Amino acid sequence: MGGWRVAGNVQLLGAMEAPMATSLPHRPRMPATSEMNVAARPRIPAPAEEPSPGCDRRLERVLEALESDRHRHLLAPSTEEDLRRLERAIQRPLPAQYRFFLARLGGGLYYDRHEVFGAARLMIHDIELVPDVLAVRERLAASCGVNGSPFLLPLHRSQGTSHWLDIRDGSVRGPRGIHRPSVADFLEAVVLSGNPQAAS
């Protein structure tokens, strides 16, 4: 794999989860539907659809698109213990969207070319295909001799381009100063689009 590449002040990576009664008590006969005054029956509203914590509609749409192509990915979903271990290491909670993404799909190799770093490494037999995010950060520090920003985690690399997750606000930093506001925005614009250097 290639070496490290520096862009601005961010070091970027090179191309490199009581007993039941035996009989029921008598219950009075309920009138048939035809005997009821339908207009008088109270309307029961349908329960509101609540998104899972960390998942908004856009992220859900992006994850569904990725899941529809699951046969094209090699994934390492993160367990709850994996996620907690990562949070202990960075000494703060993971951004909600990133945490939800790792628990549902995980890091791994997407579309044969996008390495996405998660809380667990991707192994095939005894071969590591994609390292976990902490291992990548440690290798970066060892290779460059510096630790970089404590608030940036290596998130992605593909075709010589890298992206970093800002754990303070969940935004994603990329090449040429590109700043994406969320993990959902990054996944849609970069991984789903197939263009790691997408600027739109």
- What is the pLDDT at residue 68? 94
Spatial contact of 133 and 119, defined as CB atoms under 8 Å apart:
yes
Beta-bridge partner residues of 114: 110
Strand order in the sheet with 152-158: 74-76, 107-110, 114-116, 152-158, 161-166, 172-173, 179-180
Residue 192 in tokens: 């789903």
Instruction: Evaluate if pTM is beyond 0.85.
Output: no
Where do the domains of the chain lie, and which CATH numbers do they carry? 53-192 (3.40.1580.10)
pLDDT over 70 (residue 15): no
54 pLDDT band, cuts 50/70/90, is low
Between 40 and 192, residue with greater pLDDT: 192
pLDDT tens per residue across span 76-94 = 999 999 999 999 999 999 9
